[in-house]
Amino acid sequence: MMRGATIDPPTRPKIDEGRAQSGHNWRGDWIVNSRDRWRNLKIIRNRHHVRESVITPGKLTFHLITVYMGAPSRQQSLLSGRNYNILQTAGSVAVIPAATALRSWYDEVEQDDVYLHLEPGFVKSVAAGADLDPDRIEIVPTLESRSPAIESLARMAFDELQRGDAVATNLYADSLANLLAVQLIREYSSARQPPARRYVNGLTNKKLALVLDLIESDLSEDLSLKVLAAAAGLSEYHFLRMFKQSTGLTPHQYVIGQRIERAKELLRKGDMTITEIAYLLGFSTPAHFTHHFRRKTGLTPRDFC
């Protein structure tokens, strides 16, 4: 069943059908667009003035999650033959499943949205990894809701993309994508329940050692969550949780910590410049290296020397 408040059919502005069918009738600028940079998650943030938007039947190939970031704005939408009148406020979350048709009209307020795209196949794989039957899970369309978890994940994804830091980018993005898919299943699907099975003891010593050795041997590489999970013989969903139970850290946090420890060793030796160390350890710029080093140690690399 559709979630969201319904009203009588609204009075809608006249629409140029040709322009509407192309997607949007708006003017504005992309702030951030991940394009194909991340494997399982695409994120776009856009501020724009929009009067109407149309998603035609079958055209949406991914699950679309939007998190509204702007000033209060009135939206009228037509979905599955029903009309909805929605007041968007900062933090409002909407979920549009793949293949869903939607038509919306907006007031003159500037729209500020974060769009998150998840492939249906990826969401199914996360469901299967959480011991749920992916073929029995249906994402429920929702035009207005609140989800502190999804809002937080959207902001984290936006901040990471805006930073442009190459450090553990794939690993971090994969972790965010998995967490986002889990929240989508928990809050916006026909399942709406926690995973059936929970692991309480973390990784075995053998599996943990295997994963840590892999990280250590490829410390300068942008390791993906998929590679680490495969090394442990687990789904990405279970690997994330078991790794944190074993180490107290997410894989991304652990990798950053190990890179900083390696950086300390290299700085003490004094054979390499800060710039050389930054690039050797996979940081995108010396400034990004300094940012993470200071967060971990309270000192800049130069002060540490």
Show the domains of the chain with their CATH numbers: 19-188 (2.60.120.280), 249-304 (1.10.10.60)
Q: How confident is the model at residue 48, as a pLDDT?
A: 80
The CA distance from 230 to 239, in Å, is: 9
Strands (E), 34-174: 42-55, 63-68, 73-79, 82-88, 92-96, 102-106, 111-118, 142-146
Q: How confident is the model at residue 18, as a pLDDT?
A: 30
Measured in whole angstroms, the distance separating CA 173 from the mean position of its chain's CA atoms is 6
* Mean pLDDT per 10-residue segment, the chain (305 residues): 43 34 43 67 85 87 94 90 88 94 88 92 91 87 92 89 65 90 93 51 84 86 86 88 88 89 90 90 86 90 86
Count the neighbouring beta carbons within 10 Å of the beta carbon of residue 224: 20
Q: How confident is the model at residue 189, as a pLDDT?
A: 92
Count the neighbouring beta carbons within 10 Å of the beta carbon of residue 77: 20
8-state DSSP, 196: S
